[in-house]
Chains A and B, each alone.
Chain A
Amino acid sequence: MIETEPKSKAEIVEDFVEQLLEGGDRSTLEEYCGRYPSMRRAFEGKFECVRALEEGFREDSLAGVEIDDYLVVEEIGRGGMGVVYLALQRPLDRYVALKVLPMGLLPDTREIARFRNEARAASRLSHPNIVPVYSTGEDKGMYYIAMALIPGISLARVLEGLRAAGIEPEKASVVKDIIETRADLPRIGLPTGTSMAAGRDPSFWNQPYVDLVLSLSSDVSDALAYAHRNGVCHGDLKPSNVMLSSGGVPMIVDFGLARDVKSLVSIRSQDFLGTLAYASPEHLSRNIVNEKSDIWSLGATMYEMITLRQPFRTDDVAGTIGRIAKMDPSPMRERSRRVPKDAEAIVAKCLEKEPARRYDNAQDLKEDIDRLLAGTPVNARPIGRAARQLKRARRNPLASLLGAALIVLALITPCIMFNSAIRASVSTGTQYYDEGRYPEALLFYEKALNRLKWIPFTENRRAEVLCDLGNAWSGKGEYEKAILSYESALRIDPGMVSAFIGLGDVYFEIGAYEKTVSCYDKVLLLSPTDRNSYYQRGKAYRRLGMYDKALKDFRGAITLAAGDVDTLKEISAVLSEKGLSTVKERSAYLGEAGFTVPEIRAILGKREGER
């Protein structure tokens, strides 16, 4: 986007809306507000308006569909990990929550294999604070998990309710009120008597709000400890993944699915910030997910439940990442004196940047919380202001002197570079590529890749640039390197059409025609109306001497673009290679192959014309 001349405000707003219609999201809003701060209100108005209209066009895409034993009734939730539907399990006549995963990519990629393993492991977990998984499976090209429908709401919605109330919660009973007013299930007329979870006795709702959070956290860490003992970690624990039943029992959902989160979450996804805010530093920097990172996520959740604020969240991705990596959250007691010092210490111990300094395991965390609730001394040591300063100094002496604000700035900068420098490298590379200057193109693509390597959650972008790189190697005639680039792109995104196309063409160049065919098989599976792919696959079949298959593909190409000269030439060539010389023989063969009379005329006429 290069601006050549200054634009009027109306034009800028128009451009902004256009970006939104092309799939822009909140990050587009932030980008424009950043560029034209004085026009924030206008952008926000348009943004909300587009969002409302889009909502009016959105559909319950699977309602009414049967998936194995389940009849989908309606959508009840949507997130980075898929769409959740209310469904009726017909044989048992019970309602379930059916999570359908957006994995309609290629059959049998590693991604799916991993999903299957994880789902199987999760379905073996049986704990009062884990939502039971009834079954998992595949039907109609979808992967699904059926789990118990919990009458209640997620902690994320509890938080929404508490924030909407606008006052600091004192008693646990406010949560009960929120569950009763916000729970969706009675609205759709379900039998709510089938609650999975036992209720609490009335005194539970009379305790102070902070104690309620602690006691829920104790249950959640008990569930985590159980799962960890069974070799399953959660990987994406956050308020929206903890259901609070109407009886007041917390239950974790989505166990073990989340390790895929990085491949599912793209930089544009709206859920991105939601997932990011609870991710541990080691998850972001090194993609490590284990019991220690679950403990971190629970700590971040506890912090938010107690203060109603996310410990690290800022308005943008870069800022949040920076805070998670380097900044301690502001002490909870600065926000509320009601928070016991020991609770502060426990949460801080969960949120230690260095995994080794956190609780050893979830069991230890649970026991410490229980000690606090019982009024006995806890193991976590409270951290005073001085100790915090010291800690920061130890971690980064220079930065400590310069002040935290500067560190964040330094961390944000590389991420912003993604928007400018990397984009510039890629587009310069592409310019060179278009001019046929491959060595220069290679240089710029490599440069972009080197930068992308350091920025989390940019895999999809990396895959695209790898594919560009493959094209440039291929243009330069270095086919082996091209193949390696395409393959790396496909490892990141196994459904990347452009990489399959590039790979197929390289294999064609080096005479590996079977491989060309299999690449284009995939392309056509993913994009079944791509004329050029039929044409290319047909050419490969022709080289393999598989004339009937070649003709079938050329016919496909002709159907999609009648009279295409290249295709007609190829068909002519197939006919002569097959040794058909007379017009009669040729038209009979074409007729057998399913060509229509006008097409046959065009093909034969073309051949005559060429002579």
Chain B
Amino acid sequence: MAVRLVDSVTRTLIRDGKEGDANALSTLFARYQERVLRIVRLRLSAPLRDRLRLQSMDILQETFLHAIRKLKDFEPTTEASFLHWLSRIVENVIRDQIDYSRAGKRDTAAERSLDQSIALQSGHAHLRDLIPDEGTSPTQAVVRKGIRSIVDNLLLELEESERELIIQRKLEGLTFGEMAAELGKSEDAVRKLFNRSFQKLIALAEKNKVSERLGFG
């Protein structure tokens, strides 16, 4: 098992980010914003979005705000561990937002204090500059984006627990061992659950004639 390229890059960026290198932070977030945004979209269903009057991009920004504040306590080992960490923050941010909306108030003070904590941490850089806006990234190959949104629509048809397994394995990149530790199950059990979920996804894809639509096969 070799050290993967992406892992060493991620570690370097996080280390530099912790030392206050704003450039490293913006690169780090620019790099993962697509993937994190995708996780947000898969978790923030349309009704929830309407109820919270929030867009996926808001959750993403909120997530990165929290991430920057907590980064100093985070020791990454692999890219997957970082993505998984971000993904847990996404989950918390969404839960917080639901709580706020139940309490009938939107707290903006917390956001402000976060802004300040960042200004302190990264010296001169202003937080909003660190987080790029949705859709401005030049990195998206149009074709792949199409495939992704088709796959995402299929994922949304799965049960939440099935979807989470696929998110952890395919988007965060966790190993079965890591997933097993997280879920408190045996590795073999997690592998079986994942396979079953993925088989279901394949069945959905076949029903929707996905491979023909994408020009595979």
Spell out A's residues near B (CB within 8 Å): 14, 17-18, 21, 44-46, 48-53, 55-66, 73-75, 100, 102, 104-105, 140-142, 495, 497, 525-529
Contacts and interface: CB of A to CB of B under 8 A. Distances in A.
A142 B5 contact: yes
Nearest to B177: A529
Contacts of B141: 60, 74-75
Given A52-B210, A73-B139, 18 more contacts: A14-B199, A21-B194, A44-B217, A45-B206, A49-B205, A49-B211, A51-B216, A52-B147, A56-B147, A59-B34, A62-B31, A66-B23, A102-B5, A104-B2, A104-B5, A104-B8, A141-B5, A495-B3
B6 interface: yes
Most interface-central of B171, B201, B205 (chain A CB within 10 A) = B205
B1 interface: yes
Contacts of A64: 27, 30-31, 137, 139
B199 A48 contact: no
A49 B210 contact: yes
Contacts of B216: 48-49, 51-52, 55
B51 interface: no
Contacts of A51: 211, 216-217
B144 interface: yes
Interface of B: 1-9, 12-13, 23, 27, 30-31, 34-35, 77, 137-141, 144, 147-148, 150-152, 170-171, 194-195, 198-199, 201-202, 205-206, 210-211, 214, 216-217
B10 to A, nearest CB: 10
Contacts of B206: 45, 49
A56 B150 contact: yes
> What are the 9 closest A-B residue pairs judged by CB atoms, nearest first?
A56-B151, A48-B217, A141-B8, A63-B139, A64-B30, A495-B2, A48-B211, A104-B5, A57-B170
Contacts of A17: 195, 198-199, 202
Contacts of A66: 23, 27
Interface of chain B: mostly helix, strand, loop or mixed: helix
A28 B171 CA distance: 24
Given A49-B206, A60-B139, A55 B9 contact: no
A141 B11 CA distance: 10
Contacts of B7: 104
B110 to A, nearest CB: 28
Contacts of B9: 62, 65, 140-142
B139 A74 contact: yes
Contacts of A57: 151, 170-171
Contacts of B170: 57
B205 A52 contact: yes
B156 to A, nearest CB: 13
A527 B4 CA distance: 10
A142 B31 CA distance: 17
A104 B12 CA distance: 13
A75 to B, nearest CB: 8
A46 B202 CA distance: 8
Nearest to A494: B2
Contacts of B217: 44-45, 48, 51
Contact of B148 (A56, A74, A526): A56
Contacts of A58: 144
A244 B150 CA distance: 34
A49 B215 CA distance: 11
25 contacts: A17-B195, A17-B198, A17-B199, A21-B198, A45-B211, A49-B202, A49-B211, A52-B216, A53-B202, A56-B147, A56-B148, A56-B152, A61-B5, A64-B31, A73-B138, A73-B139, A74-B141, A102-B5, A104-B7, A104-B8, A141-B8, A142-B9, A495-B2, A526-B3, A527-B1
B210 A53 contact: yes
Nearest to A83: B5
A44 B217 CA distance: 8
A44 B1 CA distance: 30
B2 A55 contact: no
Contacts of A529: 77
Nearest to B151: A56
A495 B5 CA distance: 13
Contact of B3 (A60, A75, A525): A525
Nearest to A18: B195
Contacts of B202: 17, 46, 49-50, 53
A74 B34 CA distance: 13
A415 B202 CA distance: 33
Nearest to A141: B8
B78 to A, nearest CB: 9
B31 A526 contact: no
Nearest to B215: A52
B173 to A, nearest CB: 9
B73 to A, nearest CB: 14
Contacts of B77: 528-529
A52 B150 CA distance: 10
Nearest to B214: A52
A140 B27 contact: no
B15 to A, nearest CB: 11
B13 to A, nearest CB: 8
Given A62-B9, A105-B2, A53 B31 contact: no
A100 B30 CA distance: 20
B214 to A, nearest CB: 5
Given A49-B205, A49-B210, A21 B4 contact: no
Contacts of B4: 104
Contacts of B198: 17, 21, 53
A49 B34 CA distance: 24
A57 B152 CA distance: 9
B5 A65 contact: no
Contacts of A73: 138-139
A49 B201 CA distance: 10
B147 A21 contact: no
A63 B31 contact: yes
A140 B12 contact: yes
Given A73-B138, A141-B9, A141-B12, A526 B2 contact: yes
Nearest to A48: B217
A53 B3 contact: no
B36 to A, nearest CB: 11
B115 to A, nearest CB: 23
A61 B211 contact: no
B154 to A, nearest CB: 8
